[in-house]
Amino acid sequence: MLIALSVPVALSAQTNRVEKDGFLGIGTTTPAAPLHIINGKQEIKFGTGTNTSAYSLSLGLNDDGINFDINSSVRAINFRNIGNMKFSLLPDGNLLIDRNGDVSLYTGTAAVEQNRYLALMNSQSFTSASGLKAGGVLVSGDFSFASPGKNDLVVKGNTGMGVPAPKARLDIAGGSPWTTNGWGKAIKLANANTIEFTGLQRSFGIGTTQNILYFFHANADGTGGANYFMMADGTTGNVGIGTVLPPGAGYKLAVEGTIGARKVKVTQGSWADFVFADDYKLLPLKDVKNFIDQHKHLPDIPSAKEVAQEGLDVGEMNKKLLQKVEELTLHLIAESKRNDELQEEVKQLRTVTSSLGKQVFHLQQKR
């Protein structure tokens, strides 16, 4: 393609000059470069050649900087080298860097770390950050660390969200306000999505679906189903361990299996001390025997069948067992009292017997 140079003024002794060293001045008589142009528009204009459409490129210098202007809305401004590099300013305002390989953007030429950053801003006067949109992004001091796939983000170091100096691979602070009592929202997962904790033999997950929060484990290789070992009902606040919460059961804690503990504390609203009240009617032992003979369990104590069907209230059962202990204690006290009375009667009978024996002895002596 032929490029014609269009110069807006003619050579004259007053404003144009060719120095003996080969410098050409246009609009100046003191050229300071091989081509030195000064005119009202501060502009060099390249016209079209015979094999092109009617396009032209203007190079200008103004108060806002060096300007490249092309009189076309469909042609780009291209910069090429003899290799495989093409840098284009596209007519739609986008920037194209076409290279046979990765493209690097450097922020300096120093041989040591300069801690310089690439900042994307809306404008020089409105410096809020703009976004970064890419197929795959790698954040690493070593480009050989990973090759992110499309839509993937790979970070080699720590990531801080709301944290200026992250201390972990993911360090989060300052979540959006969530509840009225001060909880912020740092991470949000959609329905049926989980956080995975991977071990050598098992992987563990935490996630929610519908109104249930699940804690489960799965095979480390991702095969098989989820095995739930704990869950919480978000509607009732009930918790199940080793079991799926029975609908409408009303258990705040349902456990399938054995519970091991050093101490269990059960709070009771009432206790069995009413047995010692003056107006308490203690069932006679004869009536207790008749009840046992008929029902095969103690009065006020559930039968084996009832326990099998309805379970056992530990706190209530302890109260009833204490009631039976206290009733038994009252029976023992009553029996002890009767025993003391009998002992006293025996003592008195022994005294009378001894006195009668002496009287008999004296009568026999008088004969």
pLDDT digits (tens, 9 = 90+) for 301-343: 999 999 999 888 889 999 999 999 999 999 999 999 999 999 9
Q: How far is CA 152 from CA 135, 195, 241, in A?
A: 7, 18, 37
Which residues have a Cβ under 8 Å from the Cβ of 209 and sit 6 or more positions away? 191, 192
Alpha-carbon distance of 199 to 190, in angstroms, equals 24
Alpha-carbon distance of 97 to 79, in angstroms, equals 10
- H-type alpha helices, 248-313: 285-295, 304-310
Q: How far is CA 55 from CA 51, 52, 118, 174, in A?
A: 11, 7, 35, 55
- Determine the residue type at 277: A
- pLDDT at res. 2: 37
Alpha-carbon distance of 177 to 195, in angstroms, equals 22
Strand, coil or helix: what is 144?
coil
User: Tokens standing for 243?
Assistant: 């079991």
User: Tokens standing for 259?
Assistant: 């519970």
> Could you tell me how many helices (H) and strands (E) the chain has, helices first?
3, 22
- pLDDT at res. 325: 95
CB 272 within 8 A of CB 326: yes
Query: pLDDT tens per residue, the chain (367 residues)?
Result: 333 444 443 444 456 666 667 788 887 888 888 877 777 666 666 666 555 566 777 777 777 777 777 777 777 878 888 777 788 888 888 888 888 877 888 888 888 877 777 777 777 787 776 676 777 888 887 778 888 888 889 999 999 999 999 999 999 998 889 999 989 899 999 999 999 998 888 889 999 998 999 999 988 787 788 899 999 998 888 999 998 876 666 788 888 899 999 998 888 888 999 999 999 999 999 999 999 999 999 999 999 999 999 888 889 999 999 999 999 999 999 999 999 999 999 899 988 888 888 887 778 777 6
Which residues have a Cβ under 8 Å from the Cβ of 5 and sit 6 or more positions away? 44, 46, 47
Q: How far is CA 36 from CA 45, 63, 291, in A?
A: 14, 18, 125
β pairing state of 43-47 and 4-6: antiparallel
- pLDDT at res. 40: 64
- pLDDT at res. 302: 93
CB 15 within 8 A of CB 36: no
| Residues β-bridged to residue 194 | 207
Q: Which of 35, 37, 46, 60 is nearest to 3 (CA)?
A: 46
- pLDDT at res. 130: 67
- The pTM assigned to this predicted structure is 0.58
HSE-CB for 125 with a 13 A CA cutoff: 0
User: Tokens standing for 292?
Assistant: 């046992």
- pLDDT at res. 41: 61
- pLDDT at res. 74: 78
